[in-house]
Amino acid sequence: MEILEFASPRTLDEALHLVRDRHGTAIGGAAWLRMNTKTMPLGVDLSELGLDYIREANGSIEIGAMTTYRELETSPLLEARFGALFRNTVSHIVGIQLRNIITVGGTLAGRYGFSDLNTTLCALGAKVVFYPGKIADVASFIQDGEEWPFLIEKVLLPVSARASYQQMRITANDFPIINAAAAWTGSSWRIAVGSRPAASRLCKKAMVLLGNEPYPSDEKIGQAAVAAAEELQFGSDIRASAEYRREILPALMRRALMEVRG
């Protein structure tokens, strides 16, 4: 990747101007962006904007766009609110060196099919905040994207939820073959599946099957797990076939749902 011009804005207004009006490319950790072979006319470094935080404010958990995976993994606040959920989601990813680079905003902006984090965020019903204030559902953004140049400021999480993340990998540090997350939000179930190998999607039919029962029966969980595999599309790549992904998803989904149910 070659960057012809590099800018390091000091305010979000300046960063948005560079991205929207000068067609700059926002640079977070650049863990995956650097693998791009295209020439970048203008790179916009976001590291000076103070977007690396995890805090509770205004009835939500706020995670700044420049927060790294390692910060998610070791956050006392996330551990207190969600148990081992975020640690389980990101700790498989390569090594600590890379997790100190990868950012939440970069992962969301890329809408990567292999993402572990995006699946968990979808299941939690997370919201993404685009500066200067537009808020969108993470699941909708990952599915549909944005038509205009955008700048992600932060992610909003509910202050608490019972949730579980499950995944299948060939080796411990490889990309997942398939991943799944389930969450009870206090009033409804949310189920998401990613690395199909396409991007994360909600399993809406499975969610309807579970309804608003916080402690569904084993039978109902089994039905929802099968429904999730039936309603999604799967593809084949060097890691697994579409058929294999469809076959193992119900087992992962049952594990997630049973862990959340307790």
Could you say which of 2.30.30.100, 3.90.180.10, 3.40.50.1980, 3.30.465.10 is the CATH number of the domain covering 54-157?
3.30.465.10
Name the more confident of 247 and 148: 247
Interatomic CA distance for residues 233 and 236, integer angstroms: 11
Higher pLDDT, 27 or 72: 72
For residue 172, what pLDDT is reported?
A: 80
Instruction: Sketch the domain layout of the chain as residue ranges.
Output: 2-44, 54-157, 162-261
pTM of the model: 0.94
- pLDDT score recorded for residue 34: 65
Q: Give tens-digit pLDDT for 35-72.
A: 666 788 999 999 999 999 999 999 999 999 999 999 99
Segment 101-109 shows an average pLDDT of 94
Asked whether the beta carbons of 196 and 245 are under 8 A apart, the reply is yes
How is the beta sheet containing 178-184 ordered, strand by strand? 162-168, 178-184, 189-194, 201-202
Q: What are the structure tokens assigned to 48, written together?
A: 């000076």
Closest CA relative to residue 107, chosen from 132, 141, 76, 149: 141
Class of the domain covering 162-261: alpha beta
Q: What does the alpha-carbon distance between residue 250 and residue 236 come to, in Å, rounded to a whole number?
A: 18
